[in-house]
């Protein structure tokens, strides 16, 4: 009985050993299942030369008209929304008090002139002192200045349009008393149409030194027709809240394009040269690594369907594209989804999606 048990045990051990070896051999020889991955092709840098911005229409300048003297408003020609030619009389305040002051000043001037003539004759005969002559001359000079001031104040009683403009707003009504410096109307210089856009700081910084090749504008509500515009100016300090720079473009008024200040528009700007003359483009999702440790991409080998890691340098990221440089070439395919799950020499198959 003892002999049978020993034989059985030896046989069992031998069987288990052979089975284990067979299982191990089978497991090691079984090939790994390839992973399906999404691939993208390394391409040339796209044209980053054209940018579109929302814009707001504005006047060349907006001026609040006001009298430089106080008085009662007796005449106005202030129709809101009307076009006004330069030099047109817009408003008048009561001129009679100022006309009386002019007459008074003129009378005093005549009186001081006669007094100066009398003193000069007496001084020539040594009948008065030098101080009397000096006093008479001072009185005459003051009378001259007083008349000039009175005439100037009289001229201030009428307001004329300083330029061709559109009357944006009437701020007072006729027959009301207006103090000096109180705005009575708001004029807008529409000799040109201004388009104000806000450019993000990163975009302006990235394109410093590039000239404007072409710019055009259109209404935000109708983009079927674009009109050429020219650069006017831009701010050199960003808005503290939005961190954007204001840029202004201008266009000559057009009858077929009725625009008023405050209207919404679109400005399209094309720049000269290239922002990145060298480099290639890969999807941002294909990048692995970080700025401190460096970036890399997984390149797909068409011959053996395996991936290899390639170090690259990232020059710029624009939306979902990364401009890179390195030991790569145009047309190579890279893993564009699930790149972080790749390992060296991993076998993969291109994912073609559902048909």
Q: What is the per-residue pLDDT across 302-317, written as a single tens digit (0 to 9) for each?
A: 899 999 999 999 988 8
φ, ψ dihedrals at 232, nearest 5°: -115, -60
pLDDT at 156 over 90: yes
Average pLDDT score over residue span 2-12: 47
Q: 74 with 161, same domain?
A: yes
- Whole-number Å distance between alpha carbons of 338 and 219: 43
- At 111, the pLDDT band (50, 70, 90 cuts) reads very high
Domain count, the chain: 3
DSSP string, 32-99: PPPEEEEEEE-BPPP---EEEEEEEEE-SEEEEEE-SS-EEEEEE---TT-EE-TT-EEEEE--HHHH
- Whole-number Å distance between alpha carbons of 327 and 280: 11
18: in domain: no
- Whole-number Å distance between alpha carbons of 296 and 309: 7
280 close to 43: Cβ distance less than 8 angstroms: yes
Average pLDDT score over residue span 243-270: 91
- Whole-number Å distance between alpha carbons of 226 and 6: 100
- At 259, the pLDDT band (50, 70, 90 cuts) reads confident
pLDDT value of residue 27 = 44
Q: 251 with 331, same domain?
A: no
pLDDT value of residue 30 = 40
pLDDT in tens, 37-92: 999 999 987 766 788 999 999 999 999 999 999 999 999 999 998 999 999 999 99
pLDDT value of residue 203 = 79
pLDDT at 94 over 80: yes
pLDDT value of residue 8 = 47
Instruction: Give the predicted TM-score (pTM) of the model.
Output: 0.61
**Which tokens belong to 124?**
């020539």
Of the ranges 34-38, 143-147, 207-211, the best mean pLDDT one: 143-147
Average pLDDT score over residue span 199-208: 78
Q: 262 with 284, same domain?
A: no
Q: 180 with 70, same domain?
A: yes
Q: Tell me the residue length of the chain.
A: 355
Please, what is the average pLDDT of the chain? 86
Q: 89 with 140, same domain?
A: yes
**Which tokens belong to 46?**
């796209």
10 close to 307: Cβ distance less than 8 angstroms: no
Q: 133 with 231, same domain?
A: no
- Whole-number Å distance between alpha carbons of 295 and 288: 6
> Of 220, 252, 271, which closes a domain?
271
The secondary structure element, H or E, covering residue 4 is: helix 2-29
pLDDT value of residue 353 = 64
Helix (H, G, I), strand (E, B) or coil at 161: coil
pLDDT value of residue 292 = 86
127: in domain: yes
Burial of 336 (0-12, 13-18, 19+ CB in 10 A): buried
Q: 134 with 103, same domain?
A: yes
Q: 55 with 198, same domain?
A: yes
pLDDT value of residue 273 = 67
pLDDT at 143 over 70: yes
pLDDT value of residue 10 = 43
Helix (H, G, I), strand (E, B) or coil at 240: coil
CATH assignment of the domain containing 127: 2.40.50.100
pLDDT value of residue 142 = 97
pLDDT value of residue 22 = 46
**Which tokens belong to 278?**
């060298």
| pLDDT top residue among 333 and 3 | 333
pLDDT at 2 over 50: no
Q: 104 with 169, same domain?
A: yes
> Of 184, 202, 237, which closes a domain?
184
- Whole-number Å distance between alpha carbons of 51 and 318: 12
pLDDT value of residue 354 = 56
Residues 265-286 as b or e (16 or more Cβ within 10 Å = b): bbbbbebeeebeeebbbbbebb
> Of 238, 271, 304, which closes a domain?
271
CB atoms within 10 A of CB 100: 12
CATH assignment of the domain containing 289: 2.40.420.20
pLDDT at 272 over 80: no
Q: 332 is in which domain, residue-wise?
A: 35-47+276-350
Q: 173 with 130, same domain?
A: yes
- Whole-number Å distance between alpha carbons of 144 and 315: 74
Q: 329 with 313, same domain?
A: yes
Percent with pLDDT over 90 in the chain: 63
- At 162, the pLDDT band (50, 70, 90 cuts) reads very high
């Amino acid at each position: 009985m003892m002999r049978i048990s020993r034989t059985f045990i030896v046989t069992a051990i031998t069987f288990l050993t052979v089975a284990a070896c067979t299982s191990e051999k089978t497991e090691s020889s079984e090939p790994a299942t390839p992973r399906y991955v999404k691939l993208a092709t390394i391409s040339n840098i796209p044209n980053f030369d054209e940018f579109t911005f929302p814009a707001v229409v504005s006047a060349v300048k907006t001026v609040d008209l006001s009298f430089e003297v106080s008085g009662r408003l007796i005449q106005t020609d202030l129709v809101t929304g009307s076009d006004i030619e330069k030099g047109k009389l817009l408003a008048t305040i009561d001129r009679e008090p100022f006309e009386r002051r002019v007459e008074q000043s003129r009378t005093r001037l005549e009186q001081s002139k006669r007094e100066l003539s009398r003193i000069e004759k007496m001084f020539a005969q040594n009948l008065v002192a030098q101080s009397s002559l000096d006093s008479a001359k001072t009185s005459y000079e003051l009378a001259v200045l007083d008349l000039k001031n009175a005439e100037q104040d009289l001229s201030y009683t009428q307001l004329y349009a300083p330029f061709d403009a559109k009357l944006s707003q009437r701020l007072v009504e006729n027959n009301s008393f207006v103090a000096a410096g109180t705005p009575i109307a708001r004029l807008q210089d529409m000799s040109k149409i201004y388009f104000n856009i806000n450019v993000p700081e990163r975009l302006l910084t990235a394109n410093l030194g590039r000239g404007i090749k072409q710019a055009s504008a259109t209404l935000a509500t109708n983009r079927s027709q674009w009109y050429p515009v020219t650069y006017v100016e831009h701010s050199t300090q960003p808005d503290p809240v939005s961190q954007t720079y204001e840029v202004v473009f201008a266009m000559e008024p057009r009858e077929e394009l009725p625009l008023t200040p405050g209207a919404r528009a679109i400005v399209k700007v094309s720049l000269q040269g290239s922002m990145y003359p060298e480099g290639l483009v890969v999807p941002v999702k294909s990048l692995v690594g970080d700025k401190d440790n460096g970036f890399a991409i997984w390149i797909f080998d068409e011959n053996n369907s395996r991936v290899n890691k390639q170090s690259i340098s990232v020059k710029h990221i624009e939306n979902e594209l990364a401009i890179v440089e390195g030991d790569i070439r145009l047309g190579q395919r890279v893993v564009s989804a699930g790149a972080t799950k790749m390992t060296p020499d991993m076998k993969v198959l291109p994912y073609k999606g559902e048909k």
